[in-house]
Amino acid sequence: MSLVLDPPIRQEREYTVAPPTLRAADPLPPLARRAWQQSWLRKSLLLLLLAIAWEAIARYQANDLLLPTFLQTAQAFVDGIVTGELLDRMRVSLTVLLQGYTLGIIAAFALTALAASTRIGRDLLETLTAMFNPLPAIALLPLALLWFGLGRGSLLFVIVHAVLWPLALGAYAGFQSVPETLRMAGRNYGLNGLRLVLHILVPAALPSILSGLKIGWAFAWRTLIAAELVFGTTAGQGGLGWYIFQNRNELYTDKVFAGLAAVILIGLLVENVVFRPLETLTVRRWGMQR
């Protein structure tokens, strides 16, 4: 005899839902909150706090030879700009830097395009980067002086070395991350070799290429300043590194800090005037980067 159980009966309840009420529109945020949302204002405030801390520490130490105050450094920087000495040093350094950076970009893209097109090129790139990427560019300066003499050629040699390997690695890593479907689509349109690299791989790998360009720029800038500190002038003209070294020998510490400030300001300008707008116009607009 089977026993059949009736299913339990759920108790029913009725709820009265209050009619929706219209919420008033949120007022605009106050001026201080809107101002704080500006990135440039926050960064400017941080720089101002650092300058105040620098001034306070320097005044507490009371030794201009070891640490000049922020106001003394700013005065030395303004004097260098007004007299034209600091501007001339920056012009010399930037001229050499742009030449070496351009040569390094050309060499890196030629090597990366060869690696993306052929197996021999891939083996060559992997072998050369494993050998030379860990080697500091400044360590090649004695050889550069022996081969190219005390002139611009030595600086260009070490700058190209500083730019070539990080940029080649970044571009090659970007090429390796390109989906196979994009490669197949390019081949279906008859693209191969260099045309495939330019029309398919370079746009798809642009975030990695831009990262390599930024890293190569930083390496090149540091290498140039270090090289100028080591052997000074090129063809009778010294750059920012020589300006710093010369004033250090003459115990003008405020001018040394002014030269360092010029190096930092140039780095900030390149980052915010060159690379950031380039990223905004390309990879951020295309949705490839946040």
In this predicted model, what pLDDT tens digit does every residue of 181-226 receive, in sequence order? Answer: 877 887 777 777 777 777 777 777 788 888 888 888 989 998 888 8
Quick one: 123 exposed, middle or buried, by C-beta within 10 A (0-12, 13-18, 19+)?
exposed
- Residue 28 CA neighbour count, 13 Å, CB half: 5
Residues of the chain above pLDDT 70, percent: 84
End-to-end alpha carbon distance in the chain: 71
**% of the chain at pLDDT higher than 90:** 13
Distance CA 70, CA 290 (A): 36
- Tens of pLDDT, residue by residue over 123-170, are 888 888 888 888 888 888 888 888 887 778 888 899 999 999 988 888
Task: Quote the Cα angle for 134-238-230, to 5°.
Answer: 40
> Rg of the chain's alpha carbons, rounded to an integer?
29
pLDDT at 78: 92
Pick from 20-29, 39-48, 213-222: least confident: 20-29
Longest dimension (CA), the chain: 114
Question: Does residue 95 contact residue 235 with C-beta atoms inside 8 Å?
Answer: no
Q: Alpha-carbon dihedral of residues 47, 48, 52, 55, nearest 10 degrees?
A: 70
The answer to whether residue 24 scores a pLDDT higher than 60 is: no
Q: How confident is the model at residue 35 (pLDDT cuts 50, 70, 90)?
A: low
Do residues 235 and 197 make contact, with C-beta atoms less than 8 angstroms apart? no
- Whether the CA torsion 175, 178, 181, 182 is positive or negative: it is negative
Q: What is the pLDDT of residue 284?
A: 65
